[in-house]
Chain A
Amino acid sequence: MDFLLESLPQCLINGLTRGSIYALIAIGFTIVYNSTDAINFAQGEFSMLGGMIAVSLAGAVAGLGLVLPTWVYVPFAALAVMAVASAFELGAINPARKAAPVNLVIITIGGSILLKGIAMLIWGKDDLMLAPFSAARTIRLGPVGFELQSVWVWAATLIAVVLLHLFFRRTIAGKALRACAQDRTAGALMGIDAGRMTLIAFALAGAIGALAGVIVTPLIYVNYFSGTLIGLKGFCASVLGGMGSIPGAVVGGLAIGVLEQLFGTYLSTGYMDAFAFVVMLAVLLVRPSGLLGEPEGDRA
């Protein structure tokens, strides 16, 4: 019992740390789902690419004898990944736009494998590092310790949620995206170019993915297949929080993170990874719309 009480705060902090990583990825899933009704399984790879590109930029800068703080690379990595995501959408998703969502999902899985292969060819198979945003690494609050970089992850998640909320609710483009997701044909009748909306959605997802990738690399390093597990966990988080709801994505991410840590610390660390997927299955069985999602129905 003592162990339980003493370690609980640390366990929760661990969970919030990892959970915020999942939350950022889950937001990317949500954006694409909101506009195409399909799941983009290349989201984890967008994040991996963001990290890799930042590493290359840092290397190039170091080659010139300079050292820039890591956050400087965020906008450049975001732009680069936006370009990749847009190319992916134009080349693979758009031509298949009339297809059923399940076909689009399979295309995105293919895309993720492609991106992994390209990353492996360009960056090799080693683990690559980025310096943390600020020099000091560890924060201790009483019995609890966590890395300063985690604070940046939380901050980034918060900012992303606020900005996206404003985007989707207050701007014309955002509203058009939502309209398109609800009913493509009706949107077209209103003069919304569905193809362009999907492009914007992917570009946005790419940018968020890159942000996640750069912020998280100082914590967990990056290699050509580190996007896969994070992507899948992020997907679990979206499902848990309610596919299509951005606050849901955040809640889902944090929840999965905390639940995972609770399970691992008090029950079994060996099955920790599996636990996240078990949670997702449970959600799909019991309440498919997730914690914050709206139940959907079709007329018979």
Chain B
Amino acid sequence: MKKLSLLLLALAFALAAAVSGCCDQVADQNSAGPVALAKADQGAAAMVTSGRTQTPSDQAETKAGDAKPVPPAATKPAPADAKAPAEKAPAAPAAEKKIPAGEPIKIGAIFAVTGPASSLGLPEKQTVEMLQEKINATGGILGRPLQVIVYDDKGDPKETVNFANRLIQNDKVAAVIGPTTSGTSLAIIDALSEAQIPLVSCAASFKIVTDDAGKARKWIFKTPQSDSLAVEKIFDYLNQKQISKIAIMSSADGYGESGRDELKRLAPNYKIEILADEQFGPQDPDMNAQLTKIKGTVSKAIVIWGIQKAPAIIAQNAKTLGLTQLIIQSHGVASKTFIELCGDAADGQVLPAGRLIVVDQLADSDPQKALLAEYKKEFEAKFAPDKISTFGGHAYDAIMLVKLAIEKAGSTEPAKLRDALETIQGFSGTGGIFNMTVADHNGLTKDAFVMVEIKNKDWAIIKP
């Protein structure tokens, strides 16, 4: 009896390790982390392969509300669904639309649909599904149906690498979109470059597209505004407010460290002095120590670079400790979930964000307003009101850029796709107006951002 129990326990141990082993302590997305059991990767991968584009949208409802207690998460779509190929033919047989036919064009996508970056990855996946339907309903690309193969890497660089290899070798895609975070993107730039398949990342760090020598990586592009642009926008704002002494707090992960580097690098250009340079862990229960230190300085503003709950905890702690500094967040928290997590400490914070979240407040003459309004309407109608986020917009831009490139090149050959991507000019996307060049694989300027303030638990655009 004792042996049986121990055996059962060992089995449970192995099962639990297989399910959660590789996902432990994912907070530091830069680190290699403990070696995952090989079985764990396969086990976990099998569970999420069913992230083929036909996942039911009710799962979106349960995942979308971060602050509300999550009802037992719909266990990942049963593997049985994975066998069914993603739809190709358009749903509504509108007679005048061309029905795409022929070999589907396969594009890969890796998003952090679950895990620490899920509030970024889920809207990205939803957007991609929505766009795939829309594109196929209006004739596909080059007359062929679009098939986007979506994988969930859970924000874990080890999984991202696995899925990247699978997309390159098994699925043989023409291009890859995503991943969601800087850490996971940096993990696969080498693999994609060696395989010579273009990558259009949805993550922020400028290091993704720029190598250490300052040159653009040949096969890698990205759609979100670079963190360097966000920093410049923030510093412009500080100059305007005549604030020259600040404190910075950054999270100890890929996103935070990249932001910190940019803040320190660009501060002298704007005559801004950094009086305190603190770091925090993304999973820390509170940041009172760092804030107590900052309270002792004469800084007039605190710039915080992190995602998910940590910046919200900082805002609350700052209020509790009675700090008077202006709190400036990064564009990484530009979603409603953040406001919910902040609770009463939300109001008064300022951050740079893409125009998408304040589309209703834009002037009619703004060149991006029409596109943004349409995207917002369609997304919220399909998924949930008020769930629009700039991150979904990054995926939107990525897919549209790839579509444009294929149409421009007239082919799905990765090399031609890449060349075409590099020459796209004047594309008005959700993140801004893209002008790609050989030297610039992001294609945006700091005007892609607007400064936004949180008022009455909602976004309010700050007029320049």
User: A residues touching B (Cβ–Cβ < 8 Å)?
Assistant: 3, 6-7, 10-11, 14, 17-18, 21, 55-56, 58-59, 62, 91-92, 95-96, 107, 110, 113-114, 116-118, 120-129, 137-138, 140, 143, 145-147, 216, 219-221, 224-226, 228-230, 260-261, 264-265, 269-270, 272-273
Q: Is the CB of B279 within 8 A of A269?
A: yes
CA distance A140 to B322 in the complex (A): 8
Q: Is the CB of A95 within 8 A of B20?
A: no
> Within B278-310, which residues are at the interface with A (CB < 8 Å)?
278-281, 283, 285-286, 288-290, 292-293, 295-296, 308-309
Specify the main secondary structure of chain A where it touches its partner. Answer: helix
| B70 interfacial by beta-carbon distance below 8 Å | yes
| B116 interfacial by beta-carbon distance below 8 Å | yes
Q: Is the CB of A219 within 8 A of B286?
A: yes
Binding-face segment, B2-10, B165-173, B395-403, B433-441: B2-10
**Sample of 12 more A-B contacts, CB < 8 Å, known A226-B285, A265-B293:** A7-B292, A11-B292, A56-B69, A56-B71, A59-B70, A116-B16, A123-B70, A128-B70, A129-B340, A137-B320, A272-B289, A273-B281
Q: Is the CB of A125 within 8 A of B2?
A: no
Determine how close the nearest CB of chain B comes to the CB of A23; give it in whole angstroms: 14
| B373 interfacial by beta-carbon distance below 8 Å | no
Q: Is the CB of A116 within 8 A of B20?
A: yes
Q: Is the CB of A7 within 8 A of B296?
A: yes
Q: Which of B25, B252, B288 contacts A17 (CB 8 A)?
A: B288
Binding-face segment, B60-68, B202-210, B408-416, B453-461: B60-68
Q: Is the CB of B285 within 8 A of A220?
A: yes
Specify the main secondary structure of chain B where it touches its partner. Answer: helix
| CB closest chain-B residue, reference A114 | B16
The interface residues of chain B lying within 8 Å CB-to-CB of A18 are: 285-286, 288
Q: Is the CB of A95 within 8 A of B341?
A: no
The interface residues of chain B lying within 8 Å CB-to-CB of A6 are: 296
User: B residues touching A (Cβ–Cβ < 8 Å)?
Assistant: 1-2, 5-6, 8-10, 12-13, 15-17, 19-21, 23-25, 63, 66-73, 75, 114-116, 118-119, 154, 252, 278-281, 283, 285-286, 288-290, 292-293, 295-296, 308-309, 313, 316, 319-322, 340-341, 343-344
Q: Is the CB of B73 within 8 A of A91?
A: no
The interface residues of chain B lying within 8 Å CB-to-CB of A147 are: 316, 320
CA distance A272 to B288 in the complex (A): 12
The interface residues of chain A lying within 8 Å CB-to-CB of B20 are: 113, 116-117, 120, 224
Q: Is the CB of B70 within 8 A of A95?
A: no
A sample of 30 inter-chain contacts (CB < 8 A) reads A6-B296, A7-B292, A56-B71, A59-B70, A95-B6, A96-B5, A96-B6, A114-B13, A114-B16, A117-B19, A120-B19, A120-B23, A124-B70, A124-B73, A124-B118, A125-B23, A126-B118, A126-B119, A138-B320, A145-B320, A219-B286, A221-B341, A225-B25, A226-B285, A228-B24, A261-B292, A264-B289, A269-B278, A269-B290, A273-B281
Q: Is the CB of A11 within 8 A of B289?
A: yes
| CB closest chain-A residue, reference B27 | A225
Q: Which of A107, A122, A225 contacts B9 (CB 8 A)?
A: A107
The interface residues of chain A lying within 8 Å CB-to-CB of B21 are: 113
Determine how close the nearest CB of chain B comes to the CB of A89; give it in whole angstroms: 12
Q: Is the CB of B115 within 8 A of A125?
A: yes
Determine how close the nearest CB of chain A comes to the CB of B424; give it in whole angstroms: 35
The interface residues of chain B lying within 8 Å CB-to-CB of A96 are: 2, 5-6
| CB closest chain-B residue, reference A56 | B69
| CB closest chain-B residue, reference A2 | B296
Q: Is the CB of A118 within 8 A of B16?
A: yes
CA distance A113 to B22 in the complex (A): 12
Determine how close the nearest CB of chain B comes to the CB of A196; give it in whole angstroms: 18
| CB closest chain-A residue, reference B319 | A138
With A58-B69, A126-B70: A225-B24 Cβ-Cβ less than 8 Å: yes
Q: Which of A21, A91, A140 contacts B285 (CB 8 A)?
A: A21
With A120-B23, A270-B279: A7-B293 Cβ-Cβ less than 8 Å: yes
Determine how close the nearest CB of chain A comes to the CB of B345; give it in whole angstroms: 8
Q: Is the CB of A92 within 8 A of B341?
A: no
The interface residues of chain B lying within 8 Å CB-to-CB of A269 are: 278-280, 289-290, 293
Q: Is the CB of A91 within 8 A of B278?
A: no
The interface residues of chain A lying within 8 Å CB-to-CB of B283 are: 225-226, 229
Determine how close the nearest CB of chain A comes to the CB of B129; give it in whole angstroms: 19
The interface residues of chain B lying within 8 Å CB-to-CB of A126 are: 63, 66, 70, 118-119
| CB closest chain-B residue, reference A98 | B2
CA distance A300 to B145 in the complex (A): 80
Determine how close the nearest CB of chain B comes to the CB of A60; give it in whole angstroms: 8
Q: Which of A3, A113, A124, A273 contacts B17 (CB 8 A)?
A: A113
Q: Is the CB of A265 within 8 A of B66?
A: no
The interface residues of chain B lying within 8 Å CB-to-CB of A220 are: 285-286, 313
| CB closest chain-A residue, reference B72 | A122
With A110-B13, A117-B15: A14-B70 Cβ-Cβ less than 8 Å: no
The interface residues of chain A lying within 8 Å CB-to-CB of B341 are: 127, 129, 221
The interface residues of chain A lying within 8 Å CB-to-CB of B73 are: 121-124
